[in-house]
Amino acid sequence: MHQNLLEEVETYFTGNTVSQTSVVVGESEEGVRKALGKITPLVLSSFMGRAERPGGPEALWTLTHEAAESGVLPDLLTADTLQRRSDLMRALLGEAYGATVARIATATAIKAPSVETLLAIAAQAVLHRLASYATQHDMNPEELFSFLKNQRAQVLEAMVPGSSARSVAVEPAAGRPARPEAVAGVLTESGGMWASVGGGHTYSAPPAPAPESATPTSRWAWVLAVVILGAGAEYFVMHNQVDGAPKVSPATLGLTSATAAPTPNTATAGAELTAPATPGGYYDASLDTYVYDPGRPVTLTMVDGTSQTVGVNSTENRLYTFLANPALQVDPVNRTKGWINFDRVNFDAKKATLSDESRQQLRNVASILKSFPGARAKIGGYTDSTGTVLANLKISQDRANAAVAELVTMGIPLSRLEAKGYGGKHGVASNVTPVGRALNRRISIRVTQK
């Protein structure tokens, strides 16, 4: 008998669980139960969309196994798990997240923060059930993905009653134009739109004022249809417009479909990744520091579904691009190649004390390294030419050690990292000017294994 995943997830939300949850979010049990009824199929639909992207089965597999290790449903009410699942749903829904939360809050008469918490709980419940099912049936990532795809009809029916996978795929009903061959975001002459949803297609009628007799259920169905189409449009744009509003996902573990356009000095395999002597930015004389220009924003998506918005010239994007692009490989002979300078990791003068901004960039780098678990990296410390050779070697080694220690505390195994101080060697600019010396005082990272 075909299993209904939606029904199985809903059995997690027993009267006792709903009661506990209502206390946590400060809402009535009726409001929580009503919201979960709308949220759960939306979460399932979001996971389906993620799994259908290139590398999606492996990404889903990773998420389900992480969820399986966190215990049973009552354990969801820990702050750490809820935060991670909340970040995941933000990444999956993208720009539609805020509007989706607001619409659910309005439809169920509960507060928006409560909806966000319930989204996180439902996400963990779905992942936990998928993990249990995969373990029970000894499934691999592709088999789990196939099982999830088979749930499409039930999920669509729950989101928009009467719109099962079968009904949305059939040809025109009364008042509905024939579906064109290419359906991605196709507008009809009447102003309606056909869009792909999983294995079928949906038709969205042109907007019109809702009649006064419209029921809340029908209005909610329309809202969900808009959400589905919005997510589809965002996905279509993401994969067909790199320069306009780039979004990047990992290329290993099958996690990516695109990478951001590389900067000129990362465009070819084996290219020198060290920052040029005159990078974009400016010298801050008051801090005796070079402030780098990160460039236009780009969004990087991690294996756990979280994302980073950084500059296209940033350390994060350059590291991510190198790891994600198969054409860029580690040079096993020339170890002076492949270094990427950190643009926001700084230390107190003559000390190895990291600033708060430095820790933020190291957190971003740690997240990237977690998305590429086979990668190993070397952290290099450098100084300008002032001071003695021995003193420069010591402070550069101490700073490299400090950066590595910070990455370890952020979850990167020490076995994947190496620290080396080079003192005043390998300068990227002349030490004659304050600007050149500021550029030479730096921390860099080099991937030693992909």
The predicted-structure confidence for 312-331, as pLDDT tens digits, reads as follows 999 999 999 999 988 899 99
What is the arithmetic mean of pLDDT over 265-289?
Answer: 59
Please, which pLDDT band fits residue 220 given cuts at 50, 70 and 90? very low
375: amino acid identity, one letter: A
pLDDT greater than 70 at residue 224: no
Domain segments of the chain as ranges: 1-159, 165-235, 247-449
CA proximity to 358, closest of 405, 288, 395: 405
Find out whether 32 and 39 touch, Cβ atoms under 8 Å: no
How many Å apart are CA 450 and CA 440, to the nearest integer? 27
Q: What is the pLDDT of residue 253?
A: 31
- Beta-ladder partners of 376: 449
How many Å apart are CA 1 and CA 6, to the nearest integer? 15
Q: What is the pLDDT of residue 229?
A: 35
- Beta-ladder partners of 290: 283
Please, which pLDDT band fits residue 398 given cuts at 50, 70 and 90? very high
Residue 294's SS3 state is: coil
Q: Which residue has the higher pLDDT, 300 or 151?
A: 300
The domain made up of 247-449 has a fold known as 60s Ribosomal Protein L30; Chain: A; (3.30.1330)
Per-chain mean pLDDT for the chain:
73
pLDDT greater than 50 at residue 277: no
Q: Any alpha helices (H) in 94-203, and if so which ranges? A: 97-108, 112-136, 141-149, 152-159, 165-169
How many Å apart are CA 97 and CA 115, to the nearest integer? 11
High-pLDDT (> 90) share of the chain, %:
28
The number of residues making up the chain comes to 450
Q: Which residue has the higher pLDDT, 73 or 40?
A: 40
Q: What is the pLDDT of residue 25?
A: 82
The DSSP output letter for 276 is P
How many Å apart are CA 409 and CA 396, to the nearest integer? 20
Task: Give how far Cα 274 sits from Cα of 278, 352, 367, 427, Å.
Answer: 11, 22, 22, 10
How many Å apart are CA 365 and CA 320, to the nearest integer? 9
The predicted-structure confidence for 402-433, as pLDDT tens digits, reads as follows 999 999 988 899 889 999 999 999 999 999 99
pLDDT greater than 70 at residue 144: yes
Q: What is the DSSP string of 3-19?
A: --HHHHHHTTS-HHHHH
87: amino acid identity, one letter: D
335: amino acid identity, one letter: R
The predicted-structure confidence for 103-130, as pLDDT tens digits, reads as follows 899 889 999 999 998 898 888 888 888 8
The predicted-structure confidence for 76-106, as pLDDT tens digits, reads as follows 556 777 788 888 888 888 877 888 888 899 8
Task: Give how far Cα 446 sits from Cα of 159, 329, 429, Å.
Answer: 47, 11, 19
What is the arithmetic mean of pLDDT over 58-74?
Answer: 71
Pairing of strands 297-301, 247-248: parallel
